[in-house]
Amino acid sequence: MAYVPPHKRRSQEGKGCSEGSNTPFVSNDRTPRKENYSRFAYNSTAQLPPVFEKIALYYCINLSERQVKWRAFQERAMRVHNEFAGLVKRFDAVNGKAVLSENRCNEEILKRVWDASMNAKYSSKAQPGTKTMSDGEVGCALSHVELWKILTSTESSSENPVMMALEDDAVFSSVAGRSRFADVLAQAMENVPSGWGILYLGFSGRGERHYVEVPHNQKRNKSKYTVEIYRPEYGYHTHAYLITRHAAQILLDNLPVQGPIDVWLADNHWFDIPVYSAVIANEGWKREDGTFEGAVLVSQERGRGRKSDVQQSSHMKAG
C-alpha cells in the first residue's frame, strides 16, 4: 500500500482513501466517528499515573550538536508532566558520519549494504535492489543498539524491565493544547497482552492489522477515547516504543543490523518477538470504508515541508 504522509491524511479525511482493495485489515465493530475529547485531556498538574513506575528506563536519542532539538523535546515532555520530563534522560546519539569517516563501523554490529526488495513491496517510494545505508541511518541504528545494551545490562528488581526509547522529534498526543499521553499510555499498557516484547507508541503500519480483543473486565476506561492494540505485519519508525529486556536481548543476539533499523526489524518479522502497536481508535486518517486508521500515541515533529533529518537509502537507486 502506498504511503500517505500524515499531512495529506488529514486533508483526505472525509474524502476516503484511493487505495481501494489495498486497505489494511480492520475490525468490523470499529465505529467511524469522531469525538470531542478536550475535556478528557490529561491535567499535567495532577499526579503522574502509576503506569510510569512500570517503566524502568526512559531515554531520548539526541545528537550532541543538536541542543536546540533537545530543548524542544524537553518542552514537549513538560507538557505531558514535569515529572515525566525529569524521567527522560538524554542519550548522546551515535554520529554515523563520524563512525564511517573514522572506519569504526564494526560489521559484527552493523552491515551497511542491504536488500530493499521486501521494503519495496510495502512502500511506493522504496526501490528494490541492493542499497547502502546513509550516514544518518548508520547513526540511528547504532544508537538504538546502544540503548538495547543499556537495558540488558541494567540492574533491576524486575526480571524483565522495560525501557521507553524515544527520538528527539517525538511529539506526545494532545487535544486542544492539553496532553493526554499519560492517559493513553496507561490504556495501552493495560490492554497489551502479557508476554509482549515491543510496544510501538508511534508506528506507520503496512499490510494487515490483527487487533487484540480486550477482555470485558479490562474495559474500565473512563475516557471517551479508546486505545486499541494490534499486531502489525510490517511497518516503519522507531521514534517511540517500549521494549523489554528479553526482547532487547533477542535483538542483540541477532546482530548485525543490516539496513535502516526499522526496516531491518520489519524485514525479519522482529525475530518472532511479540510485537504490538497502540492507536487511538476513531481518529486519524479516514479510509474509504469509513473507518479511521487510528491516531498514534506519539507522532513526529513534522509540517511546513519539514522532513526527516535522516537520508533514506531505500529511496535511492540500487547500486
Which tens digit of pLDDT belongs to each residue from 275-307?
Answer: 999 999 988 888 777 778 899 999 999 744 455
Domain 6-16+53-315, what architecture? Alpha-Beta Complex (3.90)
C-alpha cell at 87: 524521567
Query: If you average pLDDT over residues 94-116, what whole number do you get?
Result: 95
> Who's near 218: CB < 8 A, 6+ residues apart?
190, 191
Strand, helix or coil for residue 127: coil
- What are the residue ranges spanned by the domains of the chain? 6-16+53-315
pLDDT at 287: 77
pLDDT band for position 55 (cuts 50, 70, 90): very high
Helix H, strand E, coil C: the string for 208-222 is EEEECCCCHHHCCCC
pLDDT tens digits along 216-273 = 555 555 667 799 999 999 999 999 999 999 999 999 999 999 999 999 999 999 999 9
* CB environment 284-302: b (16+ within 10 A), e (fewer): bbbbeeebbbbbbbbbbbe
**pLDDT computed for residue 193 by the predictor:** 96
pTM as predicted? 0.83
Question: H or E element: which one contains 258?
Answer: strand 257-258
Nearest to residue 89, comparing CAs of 160, 168, 13? 168
